[in-house]
Amino acid sequence: MKEYLVDIRNERLSFFTPAGEVKALNDVSLHVREGEVLGIVGESGSGKSVTSYSLMGLTAHPGRLVGGDLYFNGHYINEMSEREMQKIRGNEVSIIFQDPMTSLNPVFTIGNQIREVILLHTNKTRKEANDRARELLQLVGINEPDKRLKQYPHELSGGMRQRVMIAIALACEPKLLIADEPTTALDVTIQAQILELMRDLKEKLGMSIILITHDLGVVAGMCDHIAVMYAGKVVEYGTTDEIFYQPSHEYTKGLLRSIPNLNEREHKRLVPIEGLPVDMLNPPAGCPFAPRCRSCMKICLSSMPNYTQVSDHHSSACWLLDKEKFERQAEGQA
């Protein structure tokens, strides 16, 4: 069996805020194979960004890794120094942020910002780096690359800036691209362009992608596997089809029920998930979703369920599945 490109095992990460410890990640395990697209879906504060940032050693100040092991491309991230991390970042793994307006430096030209990555990680000369930058802009579908290289970020539209971000991220042909809500700040028609571009580039370059989003529509068309996160936990993991057609966690089911479908031909009332998002400072004792769950049982309020293997690549943490299993076993014995 081939080893995973990314292997996160039982990661625990907390933010030590003045108000108390916030367990942003609570026993998260995820893996990504080479050439695979993993979608991480969840609401704000569910830990989807924190997970992938920690993989790049980008955990912000009050946050600290408390437990677990992080492997990426043969590196053991836990024990790497900042210096070693810098060599990987932008080289073997790179990231596209949500907001292309704020993630480019306004006082440097586009060319300058693309060349910076190339010069830092390779032995190319300035001229070679410039050629590579031009090539990259063409790759991400920007016309007149020579003119664009000399322009500043404010001279480009949002969609163009996001293309530049992608060009920077791909400059050193990374093994893994983390896309953190890459299209949330963009208009629908531009979103379609960027998603199309990412799909094309994946085919061409064969890298793995972690796509973080709250939009179930975006993951449906892009991903091989999906991890659904809620309150710092992966509550369900499976192939895209399994998550959409055989969801087994009540939260996933609720999410799928609560979004309006454009292709519906009659008006049906949406079925929302009741209640409020979890307060991460005072999370519930048992399953974090229990207070909002329609089929909540006594045990859900007191202890956290383990993962149940629904099929080969599909697991889910819900007591209902344990209950079903027991019932099936009981039937079998009787």
Partner 1 sequence: MKNNKLVEVQHLKQYFPVKSDKMFEKKVVKAVDDVSFYINKGETLGLVGESGCGKTTTGRTLLRLHEPTGGKIIYDGKDITHVKMLPYRRKMQIVFQDPYASLDPRMTVGDIVGEAIDIHHLAANARERRERIVELLSLVGLNTEHANRYPHEFSGGQRQRVGIARALAVNPEFIVCDEPISALDVSIQAQVVNMFEELQERMGLTYLFIAHNLSVVKHISNRIGVMYLGKLVELADSYELTFNSVHPYTRSLISAIPIADPKVSRGTNRIVLEGDVPSPVNPPSGCHFRTRCAYADERCAAEEPEWREVSSGHFAACHHLEKVQ
Q: Which residues bind partner 1 (CB under 8 A)?
A: 43-44, 157, 159-160, 187-193, 195-196, 214-218, 220-221, 240-241, 244-245, 254-256, 258-265, 267, 269-274, 276-277, 292
The nearest distance, CB 193 to partner 1, in angstroms, is 6
**Of 90 and 232, which has the nearer Cβ to partner 1?**
232
The nearest distance, CB 247 to partner 1, in angstroms, is 12
> CB–CB of 133/114 below 8 Å?
yes
Residue owning tokens 């199309």 = 196
Residue owning tokens 């599945």 = 321
**Of 245 and 326, which has the nearer Cβ to partner 1?**
245
Long-range contact set of residues 61-67: C-beta below 8 Å, sequence gap at least 24: 62/15, 62/16, 62/17, 63/13, 63/14, 63/15, 63/16, 63/24, 64/13, 64/14, 64/15, 64/16, 65/11, 65/12, 65/13, 66/12, 66/13, 66/14, 67/10, 67/11, 67/12
The nearest distance, CB 245 to partner 1, in angstroms, is 8
Q: Which residues pair with 32 in a beta bridge?
A: 6
Closest CA to 45 of 9, 15, 20: 15
**Of 170 and 223, which has the nearer Cβ to partner 1?**
223
**Of 130 and 184, which has the nearer Cβ to partner 1?**
184
**Of 88 and 234, which has the nearer Cβ to partner 1?**
234
**Of 74 and 260, which has the nearer Cβ to partner 1?**
260
**Of 270 and 330, which has the nearer Cβ to partner 1?**
270
Closest CA to 100 of 162, 49, 42, 45: 162
The nearest distance, CB 221 to partner 1, in angstroms, is 4
What is the rounded (10 degree) CA torsion for 229, 20, 276, 247? 20
The nearest distance, CB 192 to partner 1, in angstroms, is 4
The nearest distance, CB 318 to partner 1, in angstroms, is 16
How big, in percent rounded to 5, are the helix, strand and coil portions of the chain?
40, 25, 40
Closest CA to 232 of 7, 9, 14, 6: 14
**Of 94 and 191, which has the nearer Cβ to partner 1?**
191
The nearest distance, CB 220 to partner 1, in angstroms, is 5
> CB–CB of 132/118 below 8 Å?
yes
**Of 122 and 193, which has the nearer Cβ to partner 1?**
193
The nearest distance, CB 51 to partner 1, in angstroms, is 18
HSE of 68, CA atoms in CB hemisphere, 13 A: 22
Q: Is 44 left (phi over 0), alpha (psi -120 to 50) or beta?
A: beta
> CB–CB of 323/251 below 8 Å?
no
The nearest distance, CB 183 to partner 1, in angstroms, is 9
Both structure tokens of 195:
């998603």
